[in-house]
Structure 1
Amino acid sequence: MDEQQLDKVRNGTGFVAALDQSGGSTPKTLRRYGIPEDAYADEDEMFDLVHEMRTRIITSPVFGGDRIIGTILFENTMDRQILGRPTADYLWAVKTVVPFLKVDKGLQKEADGARLMKRIPYLDALLERALAQGIFATKMRSTISLPGPGLTDVVRQQFEVAEQILATGLVPIIEPEIDIHSARKPEADDQLRDELAARLDRLPPEHLVMLKLTPPETDDLYAPFVAHPNVLRVLFLSGGYSREEANARLARNHGVIASFSRALTEGLDVSQTPEEFDRVLDGSIASIAAASAT
């Protein structure tokens, strides 16, 4: 584990930029950026276009390690280059931003109010590639719509995969996302807090994880995790909230930082001049960094 990266993740100011949209979510991302689906003929062209968008964001002069602690990449992005350097290398060597990697391969059908991760084929090989590329941490997402046994299964699966990731020396980002539209969200929040606490308390001292969670209905509900010795950082996702609402909820939870995706890129458009693009991105980064500083 790179000690400089570890210190930045543990103590750095700012937030984590989530630029890890994969095959299923990329068309929406491109539409919001002003590129319709008839602008590309196949998946290869689609990924070329989204890489151009991500490159524009990452190479912007307003995107840097002063306000961005880390960036979550999609596997396809990790395998590409930015200005002639591998993406993860460019992030750390040029921008002083710690590279993370999304490793999950989508979700199973909903059962018992939750969607578990699909099996991750060749995970060990992917983790080895990630290590070779200089990746520090990995992210994996499940979703929860109701409290109950499905939520328990999500947490169990997340920690089982986390153990496999920890064995390689990478840091797992555990992401059991609760649907912001859940009719029983406060109950799900409480159950998730209890299930996570029980699992975290069983980890050996040397096992460090990060948590990426939906903002809870009760402010500071996850405060015990901010101080937990096994938790490097607690991140909040935007979860479908507007940037303004996501920032407001984040700011009310002390010691937590953002890991926003759609809320980060809100307002960016392919037709913008470099000056317009950088101004919008700068405003977005500034507001999210401020909300992460509480």
Structure 2
Amino acid sequence: MNQEMKERIQNGKGFIAALDQSGGSTPTALKRYGVMEDAYSNEEEMFDLVHQMRTRIITNPAFTKDHILGAILFERTMDSEIQGKPTADYLWEEKGIVPFLKIDKGLAELENGVQRMKPNPGLDALLDKAIEKHIFGTKMRSVIQAYNEEAIVGIVDQQFDLARQIIAKGLVPIVEPEVSIDSPEKEECEALLVKELKRHLDQLEEGQEVLLKLTLPNIENLYRELTKHPRVLRVVALSGGYSREEANDRLAKNANVIASFSRGLTEGLSKQQSDEEFTKTLEESIQEIYEASME
């Protein structure tokens, strides 16, 4: 583990940028950016366009370590280059921003109110590649849609089974059991989730550390105890479909929780903007998210 990166994530001021849309969510992300589906004819062209979008964000003068601690990448982004350097190296060496990698293979079908992560037989090889590419940590997402005690326990079990595998490689996992903001039982799901997260965290040994990426909770400061847990480097929040304004408002009410926004970060950016307009929009977005993270 890179100790300088760890220090930055654990104690730095700022938030984590989520730039990890993958196959399923990429067309939507491109559309919001002003690139319609008729602009590409296959997956390769689609990913080239999304890499151009991410490159424009990452190389922008507004995207700096003064406000951004880390960035979560999709595997293809990690495998690509920015200005002649592997993306993770560019982030750390040129920007001082810690690189993370999304490692899950997407969500399984909804079952008992939850979507577990799909099987990931190639995970070990992917983690080895991440280490070669100088990645600090990983991220994996599952989703809770409705209250089902057994299913929610299973979601957290799956997250921590993989977290241990990742920790054993010397990487730091971001555990992300998202609760849908549309869940009619969101509050009950969040209460049980906190209990289960704490149970697993208490079982980790010294030196086994994670980040938690969680939905902005209905009850303010619900995650306070988790933010103080000795096995938690940081608790970060996903925007989860809230507008940036609402996500920032909710975030500011939760002490010691910082943002890890995807849609909330890129809201308002478009391919058609001049560099000046793009920088101004990104600068405002980053500043607002930063301020909400520092509340």
TM class, shorter-chain normalised? over 0.9
> In structure 2, what residue type is equivalent to 1:20?
D
Query: What is the CA distance between 1:147 and its match in structure 2?
Result: 1.9
Distance in 1 between residues matched to 2:151 and 2:276, nearest whole Å: 47
1:36-60 CA-to-partner distances (Å, cap 9, x unmatched) read 0011000000000000000000000
1:162-199 CA-to-partner distances (Å, cap 9, x unmatched) read 01101000001000000001000110010001010111
1:227 is matched with which residue?
Answer: 228
Give the SS at the match of 1:55.
Answer: helix
Question: Does structure 2 retain, via aligned residues, the 8 Å contact 1:101–1:137?
Answer: yes
Give the SS at the match of 2:286.
Answer: helix
Distance in 1 between residues matched to 2:116 and 2:40, nearest whole Å: 31
1:16-39 CA-to-partner distances (Å, cap 9, x unmatched) read 000000000000000000000011
2:294 is matched with which residue?
Answer: 293
Distance in 2 between residues matched to 1:268 and 1:291, nearest whole Å: 20
Distance in 1 between residues matched to 2:70 and 2:240, nearest whole Å: 19
1:180 aligns with 2:173: no
Give the SS at the match of 2:294.
Answer: coil
> In structure 2, what residue type is equivalent to 1:236?
A
1:47 is matched with which residue?
Answer: 47
1:203 aligns with 2:207: no
Give the SS at the match of 2:242.
Answer: coil
Distance in 1 between residues matched to 2:215 and 2:209, nearest whole Å: 20
Distance in 2 between residues matched to 1:62 and 1:174, nearest whole Å: 28
Instruction: Spell out structure 1 runs of 4+ moving beyond 6 A.
Output: none
> In structure 1, what residue type is equivalent to 2:30?
L
Distance in 2 between residues matched to 1:166 and 1:245, nearest whole Å: 34
Distance in 1 between residues matched to 2:35 and 2:111, nearest whole Å: 35
1:170 is matched with which residue?
Answer: 171
1:101 is matched with which residue?
Answer: 101
Identity %: 56
Give the SS at the match of 1:270.
Answer: coil
Query: What is the CA distance between 1:121 and its match in structure 2?
Result: 2.4
Q: Compute the TM-score of the two structures, normalised by the length of structure 2.
A: 0.99
1:87 aligns with 2:53: no
2:240 is matched with which residue?
Answer: 239
1:132 is matched with which residue?
Answer: 132
Give the SS at the match of 2:104.
Answer: coil
Distance in 2 between residues matched to 1:147 and 1:70, nearest whole Å: 32
1:250 is matched with which residue?
Answer: 251
1:37 aligns with 2:53: no
Distance in 2 between residues matched to 1:153 and 1:112, nearest whole Å: 11
Give the SS at the match of 1:257.
Answer: strand
1:192 is matched with which residue?
Answer: 193
Distance in 2 between residues matched to 1:158 and 1:152, nearest whole Å: 10
1:158 is matched with which residue?
Answer: 159
Give the SS at the match of 2:203.
Answer: coil
1:277 is matched with which residue?
Answer: 278
Distance in 1 between residues matched to 2:226 and 2:191, nearest whole Å: 13
> In structure 2, what residue type is equivalent to 1:47?
F
Give the SS at the match of 2:129.
Answer: helix
> In structure 2, what residue type is equivalent to 1:241?
Y
Gaps of 5+ in 1: none
Distance in 1 between residues matched to 2:176 and 2:25, nearest whole Å: 17
Question: Does structure 2 retain, via aligned residues, the 8 Å contact 1:115–1:150?
Answer: no
> In structure 2, what residue type is equivalent to 1:29?
A
- Counterparts of residues 61-72 of structure 1 (less than 5 Å): 61-72=61-72
Give the SS at the match of 1:121.
Answer: coil
Query: What is the CA distance between 1:130 and its match in structure 2?
Result: 0.3
> In structure 1, what residue type is equivalent to 2:141?
R
Distance in 2 between residues matched to 1:262 and 1:251, nearest whole Å: 18
Question: Does structure 2 retain, via aligned residues, the 8 Å contact 1:219–1:253?
Answer: yes
